[in-house]
Structure 1
Amino acid sequence: MNKIKKLLAFIGVLAMCIALIPVYYAKADEQASISISSASGTVGSKITVTVTISASDVIDVASVPVSYDNSIIKPVGAGNSGVVSFALLDASAYGSNESISMQFEVIAAGTTTLSVAGDAKISVNGERATVSSSSSGKVTAKAPASYSSDNTLKSLQISPGTLSPAFSPDRTTYNATVDADVTELVVSAAANDSAAKISISGRRMDPGSNTTTITVTAEDGSVKKYIIYTTRLEDGQEATTEAESKTEAVTEDASQTVNNDGTVTIDGRKYSVVKDYSEITIPDGYQEIDYDYNGQKINAVKGIKTGLILMYLESEDGKGGFYIYDETAKTFSPYNTVAEPEITYVVLPITNSLDKPAGYALTRFTMNGKEVQVLMDADRQYCLFYGVSSLGEKGWFRYRVSDGSIQAYSVVKSNTANADVKADNGKTSGNSRFWLMIVLILGLIIAVFIVITIVLCSKLAKVKKVFNMASKDGVDLDEYTEKVIEGYESDEDDSYAELDTSTDTVSYGDDKSGKNDVEELKLFDVDDDK
């Protein structure tokens, strides 16, 4: 009884000690996700855009900056800076899922993407929440039927230099040559319709080939592009003919070096890999990931459908942008996209390993304000770029220079096709020989099995016959070998002269002394009547 009391006392003291230990509650990191709705409307109408915040617990306050194209839409009753804040700041009793709506006025035809810009501040359950994911929205602005669709130029001139051939409103590609001391091309363009808008990119002239794009946007939002391919001569270089100036050989694989300090040099320019993405807008369709880059853990972004790895590189002058990282070649290439309605394409580098169609020349071309590698046809009406779409489709795509439309393109080579046909025929022939060999082997196995079965059946029949005859005559065959049995059976007249039955005993001993005799087997005449 005393032992039980002592045990209960010990348990009570232990419980009190445990109760006195301070308890610390660790708060888990709060998470939140942001989604932005899409909308459409005609010029002059108002649309509503909704930002939805989904959090791991109750939301205290929130402020989400959203970027948009201020030439297409503008917030109603607010400034039109291109970034507007969707906020929950009135200290209401918010839940874990809240929506914020805002009205915009459609001011021009076109399409604009609404995405989270910069740092979204969301407080959940008394602490700063981490934004785990965000999705963008899109506004499609349509023009009224009365709007003009004229997107042509009335005139186009450059200085210095002249266009070749001469300007025509229906022709969209031209060539020109300027001297080595020209650093900028002056472009004078006038639209045929006063309501149309003109934008010009690529005026800077570098040694070699340059691309200048004049984009004409009609009142109803339709677009036409005029392209000028200008060759800037180097010191002492003479002007070439028009045919010679159309294309320029380019290096397929850019010169890159990874430095000891973690920076990377691309075409002689040094870049550092940015590790913090809190102030950087991640492209649509990509999400931030932890990535092992040259033994260091850094932040990168990965395409949800494209699977591409993007890193943000910043040059020494503070300018930066996203670059595609090739995990196999360990190289970077500029991240550039071209788009159609609902589909976006990432332009990838053209490498030596790709099958290239005939009739196209490798050159550089400006798409969406950035210079990329393409295959250009002789008339400069179309070019091919290698890329991957937002749907995950990877391969060659054909880009129409005049209007920027994009189509999938299949590389077909007759020699390759013939080789494929031959390979298929060879594969079929090989398959036939394989199955013929299998049939022959199976046939041989079956034949051997049949022969063995026949031999065994014949042997069994002989033995059975001998045993039947010996049993009938009362002869014990346990001490006779198969050879003797065969001799015994071979007598066609069923005589038993071959078997020695003269003695009344059969010895199992090993020596003549009979020490190892086990027993004596007596043979008796069997009376048939008994």
Structure 2
Amino acid sequence: MNNIKRITALVMAMLMSILMFSGLTNVKAAQTAHVSISSASANVGDEVTITITASSDVKIELCDLRINYDSSILQYVKGFDAGGGGTGRLISPNATSFDVVFKTINPGTATISVDKSTSYTSSADEDYMSLTTSSGSVNVKAPASYSSDNTLKSLQISPGTLSPAFSPDRTTYNATVDADVTELVVSAAANDSAAKISISGRRMDPGSNTTTITVTAEDGSVKKYIIYTTRLEDGQEATTEAESKTEAVTEDVSQTVNNDGTVTIDGRKYSVVKDYSGITIPDGYQEIDYDYNGQKINAVKGIKTGLILMYLESEDGKGGFYIYDETAKTFSPYNTVAEPEITYVVLPITNSLEKPAGYALTRFTMNGKEVQVLMDADRQYCLFYGVSSLGEKGWFRYRVSDGSIQAYSVVKSDTANADVKADNGKTSGNSRFWLTIVLILGLIIAAFIVITIVLCTKLAKVKKVFNMASKDGVDLDEYTEKVIDGYAEDEDDSYEELDTSSDKISYGDDKSGKSDVEELKLFDVEDDK
């Protein structure tokens, strides 16, 4: 009986410990508000209403939101407390949902987002709440009467000549300029007077350069013409067209962390900005505290991408976000390319990556910034390594002519398979941990059930013994537990009178009708009993 009591106490202590542990892990999280923006489709000239909503598990007492939108496609009509020029402000002490009206003025896709650096919400319990956001968009279609002609009528450069000769249907060209050329002069004319032309990448640096001529038709359709220009170094002779197509670039960037906390990238010194006041955080990222080289600084982390971004500022005051590689302790420029509803962050191409055959490593201008890509021989497509806003990481194929993007599969090497196995190992480890927890709880429950059954059996036996003893007028105080058990195991409830003058007590006949009887031996029975 004492052993049973000890086991019961141990099981109860374990159950109470589990309950206390689960209670301790229920810590109240910081209050968070989420701002969502609806999307819409319209034709040029229509008015659209966009709904901006702040939500939280607790009541929001105040909203002060700054909104950014594409003013080249949308024209503000009403809804902001102050708006115009691509920005607007929403402020209210009691409302959490706002309707903003825009007029569509040009075809295309306009993004509407929250400037988290200047927006906030508050609740009754806390002055400020942590803020997460999602963007909205308006897809504006052109009327059927709008022209879709996005071709060039002519294209010339100075100095240098295009190779091959210009043709409206060809979108990629090569050129070579001397070492003293610092800027490429581009002359381009659209075939349709309603089309618009923009040019980027005119600066010529030693080596490979990319110049992009973007033609946007009246209906919003886009075509891009690319010029790959090689600027020679002093004393260098011009290469052939085939050589210029497959020219490789150095994939390792020279970086040094200085004693004063600055970082030197390609010979240029940058300081790590610690305060993000007035800096617009990219969509899909949230501000975090980060331990950088032993110092607590502000950084941003992708909600789905998981990338760490830091804002670096050069000595001339110019700055931007850079991707920080936590393993290599290096920085690379943060650059994105986008399709409707999806944004891609372009990552550096390192030696450890499995590269597909038939492509040459080179530099290419995307979205106005130079990045590393793998270019095919015809320069019609290039591959970049990156991560999408949906969290998908890997190779993506970029079509040079129109900027369309597709996922690209590469056969994985043994190294990649090892990474997969490592991930599976982590998953298996987590599964074993939870399986162990379940087994422990199962054993505790099983032990509790067994103890309950044993106790119930004991109680039933004791009850039977006392009922029998009461019926026969027997005092059980003088008997051992073994004798009492033997007394309880008799199958017949009718007994003869006990003879206390003898050391042996006989009772009843067995069911077979024989005169044999069981015997119970008395222990230390006093004469007066």
C-alpha change, 1:131 and 1:174, in structure 2 (3 Å) is same
Give the whole-Å Cα distance in 2 for the aligned partners of 1:134 and 1:49.
Answer: 15
The CA deviation at 1:337 is 1.1
Q: Which AA in structure 1 matches 2:69? A: Y
Give the whole-Å Cα distance in 2 for the aligned partners of 1:177 and 1:265.
Answer: 31
Give the whole-Å Cα distance in 1 for the aligned partners of 2:304 and 2:96.
Answer: 28
Give the whole-Å Cα distance in 2 for the aligned partners of 1:203 and 1:128.
Answer: 49
Work out whether 1:409 is the aligned partner of 2:408: yes
Q: Deviations over 1:384-429 (max 9, x none)?
A: 111111222211111111111111212248xx69xx9xxxxxxxxx
Give the whole-Å Cα distance in 2 for the aligned partners of 1:223 and 1:38.
Answer: 22
Q: Which AA in structure 1 matches 2:44? A: V
The CA deviation at 1:276 is 1.7
Question: Aligned residues, how many?
Answer: 382
Question: Structure 1, unaligned stretches of length 5 or more?
Answer: 1-27, 89-93, 421-530
Q: Which AA in structure 2 matches 1:396? A: W
Cα contact 1:33–1:53 (8 A) shared by 2: yes
Question: How large is the RMSD of aligned CA atoms in angstroms?
Answer: 2.3
- Aligned counterpart, 1:109: 107
Give the whole-Å Cα distance in 2 for the aligned partners of 1:313 and 1:49.
Answer: 34
The correspondence for 1:59, drawn from 37, 40, 61, is: 61
The CA deviation at 1:72 is 0.6
SS in 2 for 1:245: helix
Cα contact 2:37–2:50 (8 A) shared by 1: yes
Q: Deviations over 1:319-354 (max 9, x none)?
A: 111111111111111111111222221111111111
Q: Deviations over 1:440-459 (max 9, x none)?
A: xxxxxxxxxxxxxxxxxxxx
Cα contact 1:397–1:409 (8 A) shared by 2: yes
Q: Which AA in structure 2 matches 1:213? A: T
- Aligned counterpart, 2:88: 84
Q: Map 1:239-388 onto structure 2 (within 5 A).
A: 239-388=238-387
Work out whether 1:140 is the aligned partner of 2:139: yes
Question: Structure 2, unaligned stretches of length 5 or more?
Answer: 1-28, 418-529
Determine what percentage of the aligned residue pairs are the same residue.
80
Cα contact 1:41–1:140 (8 A) shared by 2: yes
Cα contact 2:252–2:350 (8 A) shared by 1: yes
Give the whole-Å Cα distance in 2 for the aligned partners of 1:324 and 1:139.
Answer: 29
- Aligned counterpart, 1:3: none
Cα contact 1:35–1:135 (8 A) shared by 2: yes
The CA deviation at 1:36 is 2.3
Work out whether 1:42 is the aligned partner of 2:43: yes
Give the whole-Å Cα distance in 2 for the aligned partners of 1:241 and 1:42.
Answer: 49
Give the whole-Å Cα distance in 1 for the aligned partners of 2:249 and 2:230.
Answer: 14
C-alpha change, 1:58 and 1:208, in structure 2 (3 Å) is closer
- Aligned counterpart, 1:75: 76
The CA deviation at 1:127 is 8.1
- Aligned counterpart, 1:100: 98
Q: Which AA in structure 2 matches 1:228? A: I
SS in 2 for 1:244: helix
Q: Which AA in structure 1 matches 2:86? A: G
SS in 2 for 1:76: strand
Q: Which AA in structure 2 matches 1:64? A: L
- Aligned counterpart, 1:436: none
Work out whether 1:397 is the aligned partner of 2:399: no
Moved more, 70-79 or 390-399: 70-79
SS in 2 for 1:238: coil
C-alpha change, 1:31 and 1:389, in structure 2 (3 Å) is closer
Cα contact 1:120–1:131 (8 A) shared by 2: no
C-alpha change, 1:122 and 1:303, in structure 2 (3 Å) is closer
Give the whole-Å Cα distance in 2 for the aligned partners of 1:43 and 1:289.
Answer: 40
Larger Rg: 1
The two structures have a TM-score, normalised by structure 2, of 0.68
Give the whole-Å Cα distance in 2 for the aligned partners of 1:327 and 1:123.
Answer: 34
- Aligned counterpart, 1:153: 152
